[in-house]
Amino acid sequence: MRSIIIDADLGIGVPGADIDDGLAIILALRSEGVKVEGITVVAGNVDADEGTRNALNVLAVAKAEEVPVVQGFGKPLLRDLTTGSSLMKKRLEAAGVPEAVSHPRLRDTYPRRSLRKPLAIHAVDWLVSKILERRGEITLVALGPLTNVAMAIAKEPEVVHAVRELVVMGGSISTPGNVSPIAEFNMWCDPEAAQMVFNSGIPLTMVGLDVTTKTLLTPEHISEIQGFGTPLADYIVDMTLPWIEVVKAVRGLRGCFMHDPLTVAAALDRSLIRTEAMHVDAETQSDLTRGQTVALRGAQLKLSGERSNAQVAVEVASERFLQTLVDRVH
């Protein structure tokens, strides 16, 4: 049995701006031979309070309310940045799509389904305790800014050696950023935390925009999910279709990228991606380049004298992944 913990900024930001955390959690829950030990929440797309409520609601819909939810940091390590909600709202308005900001079907993407409360412990303390207790067994999958992960390592450096692996959704090596020309959102939100994690020595796999932007969930996929006719499938359809409409209006794409589900899937089945060993760091000093992930690879890595600190995804079996996602989330 594979044990994973998912650390996520599970929320919508601007209504509909982030639905793939929920799909990632459902994918993990519906994967055979996998036990989701818990969901820890970090601020990113939304604040930590809202993200926690959303996590509880998704677990209720998925009939997995035995899975603990633990709230973590509500802001980045050093800077109290604008959350994803305000940031994405500005981007949509700048794109001339004001109707997307108030899309009526997106307001309740994570409707209240649970009266359960999170555990009365901070996510960092819970992560440290669980990873040390289950030494060598826990795969930690980080789908949001790396604030909780960085602080767990700072609080107990032994986490670096006790965790089985950290799989991170974030960063970009050769693909343009999604929050600036060169920065991916999770890295941009808390680059100081990312820098700490990359340089900690933790066994790390980075699943970034280089591969996640090749995983487009389309209306055809949604129709297939709708055909299952289950309450969970209906929930996924209601959650996803409105955002596909927004993405089409804003970016002209026929679907939405499955950043977080791919990261979970790759953590469970490494054959879905091909990785290369690289030395990765995050830019923290310049506002112009904040959150950029800078990688040394191949000859650059050899000439630099640096050691690789991450396996970075460079190719993905997109169609096989998308079919796996469709087949499991019902």
Average pLDDT of the segment spanning 64-85: 82
Does the pLDDT value for residue 101 go beyond 60?
A: no
Task: Compute the average pLDDT of residues 152-160.
Answer: 98
Whether residue 161 lies in the annotated active site: no
* Mean pLDDT, rounded, for 54-58: 90
**Per-residue pLDDT reduced to its tens digit, 263-278:** 999 999 999 999 999 9
Which of the residues 103, 221, 259, 330 is marked catalytic? 259
Report the range of poorest mean pLDDT among 9-13, 113-117, 299-303. Answer: 9-13
- Split at pLDDT 50, 70, 90, the class of 179 is confident
pLDDT the model gives residue 81:
57
User: What mean pLDDT comes out for the span 10-38?
Assistant: 82
pLDDT confidence of residue 246: 77
Tell me what pLDDT residue 89 has: 52
- Which of the four pLDDT bands, split at 50, 70 and 90, describes residue 87? low
Which residue in 154, 213, 148, 195 sits closest to 290, CA to CA?
195
- pLDDT, position 12: 58
Percent of the chain at pLDDT > 70 equals 88
In this predicted structure, what is the pLDDT of residue 322?
A: 97
Ordered domains of the chain (ranges, CATH): 2-328 (3.90.245.10)
Q: Give the residue with greater pLDDT, 95 vs 249.
A: 249
Residue 220 has pLDDT above 60, yes or no: yes
